Amino acid sequence: MIKPVSSISNNFVKLIKKAAESKTFEKHFNKCIDNPTYATRVLILTNVSKDTFAYALRVKNGLTNKEMPEEKKKYVVAMDAAMGGVTTVAQIATGWVLSSPKVLEKATKKLFGHLGENSKRFKQARAGFVAVSTLVFSMLLAKRVVVPLLAGPMADKIKISIDKSNPTKLKNNSTEKYSGMIPTFSHANYNNDLFKAFVNNKSKN
Amino acid sequence: MIEIRSTYNKSYANQNIKRQQNVTFQGGLSVVKSLEKNEIIQEAVANCAEKTVKPVKNLINKNKEAVTAFFSKHSEIGEGAGIFFDFIGKAAIIPIVMIFNPFSKEDKDSKTYSALKHPVGASIQAVMEVSILMQGTRYIDKLAKQGKLGAKYAVSKLTGENLEKATSRLNFFKNRACWVAAISMTPALCAIENWAHPKLMKIISPKTAERKNTSKNGGHKA
């Protein structure tokens, strides 16, 4: 291997080793091994934090995107914001329920109680139940079906609030075509000569 | 005249008291309790349970062995299956649900435009993030097997309970490393998605990408 590349990889390995052997990680991993509920909940929080961060970035990027049509951009941004919020809540809620020892105990006792609680098959079936239910309920049903369903109407409302908070931009777009053709009416230009001339011409026609 | 008025007032006052006595609100829980005692509702609940919950229970009881075998077989869903389901969810399920969402009043053009952002994101994620993370986890596995991560992660040298602990410790370490890598990659992935989505929309559906909403209320159905 070329010298600089090998020194970089050596330093990288040293860094990973230092992190793996650090006291905070050791404590954290021991707690994860002793307490499966804690481990599952940490996993949920890491997933949620990643998703929330990604949706926040999407909203920020969407607002500054110049290639998207203005109307579409508003809905895309609103949808991303709504999806971010609902995903966070839905993932935490389903994850917390599925990882709850009480819920797990009830469900697994009913399903696999006939195997005996200390048998190896019971533990295997229980692990399978946790894995499949997390995949089906949390990853597919909650995150991919329920979240977009709930986020749709929320995005509608967010879009309306964006429209309300930024009405000038919309007005400018709609009056752009006619600017210069029709003088706009306001108390300030009521006595304006140009406005008077426009009104007189209209009345003559 | 005064007598008539006074008798009228008295009778009116009595009526009011009676009315008030009849209309007193007993509170939410008491209403629920009285409903629970209602025979018709009791019968309806029993019927509903018999028709929905009991068949499912019977089906599970009859096929207990099959249910157990199914869950035992899937006790460890691999990383590949997780990634596959995540991709299918993002690339296919979300866009379908978003476009045909009956609760959203937005026009179909905007819904489609927004929904197609997800398959674009999923493809970028599958190509870049997943491949990098998979290579990363393989690299950590290799380091652990070689004993370069320390004695507690040396999977190839340990046996019995220590091996079990080392394996789960290694899995947790890989998860955290992947999380750090994914978080640090997210800004780049989002930027690529933001750049690629409008461009791809112009190619896939130029009419949808360029058409402006003409409805008075900014794209919302009345």
- pLDDT single digits (tens) A128-168: 887 788 778 877 888 889 999 999 999 999 988 888 876 54
Evaluate whether ipTM surpasses 0.90: no
Which helix (H) or strand (E) segment holds residue A104: the answer is helix A101-112
| Average pLDDT across chain A, whole number | 78
Q: Inspect the interface and report whether the beta carbons of A54 and B186 lie closer than 8 Å.
A: yes
Q: Is the pLDDT of residue A75 over 70?
A: yes
Instruction: Report d(CA A36, CA A42) in Å as an integer.
Output: 10
pTM: 0.69
pLDDT at A180: 45
How far, in Å, are A169, B29, B35, B36, B150 from residue B39 at the CA level?
62, 18, 9, 8, 69
Q: Report the pLDDT value the prediction gives residue A150, as an integer from 0 to 100.
A: 93
Instruction: Report helix, strand or coil for B220.
Output: strand
Please give the pLDDT value at position B95.
93
Residue A176 has pLDDT above 90, yes or no: no
| B135/B127 Cα distance (integer angstroms) | 12
Q: Decide if A75 contacts B106 (C-beta within 8 A).
A: yes
- Among A44-48, A110-114, A201-205, the least confident range: A201-205
**Mean pLDDT in residue range A100-118:** 79
List phi, psi (to 5°) of B220: -90, 140
Q: How many CB atoms lie within 10 A of CB A36?
A: 15
Please indicate whether residue A73 or residue B218 has the higher confidence score (pLDDT). Answer: A73
A33 interfacial to chain B (CB closer than 8 Å): yes
β-partners of residue B48 are none
Give the chain A residue whose CA is nearest to the CA of B207. A69
Max avg pLDDT among A24-38, A162-176, B188-202:
B188-202
Task: Give pLDDT, residue B16.
Answer: 52
pLDDT greater than 50 at residue A126: yes
How far apart CA B98 and CA B96 sit, in angstroms, is 5
Q: Give the pLDDT of residue A192.
A: 58
Dump strand ranges (E) for chain B. Answer: none
Q: Cα distance from A71 to chain B (closest Cα, Å)?
A: 7
Q: Which parts of chain B sit beneath pLDDT 50?
A: 1, 18, 20-24, 213-222
CB contact under 8 A, A65 and B198: yes
The more confident residue out of B17 and A48 is: A48
Testing the interface with B: which of A75, A94, A104 to mutate, by most B Cβ within 10 A? A75
Query: Three-class SS of residue A150?
Result: helix
- Note the pLDDT tens digit of each residue in A79-101: 999 999 999 999 888 888 877 88
- Number of helices (H) and strands (E), helices first, in chain A? 9, 0
What gap in Å lies between CA B98 and CA B89, rounded to an integer?
Answer: 12
Residues 37-66 of A with CB under 8 A from B: 39, 43, 46, 49-50, 53-54, 57-58, 61-62, 65
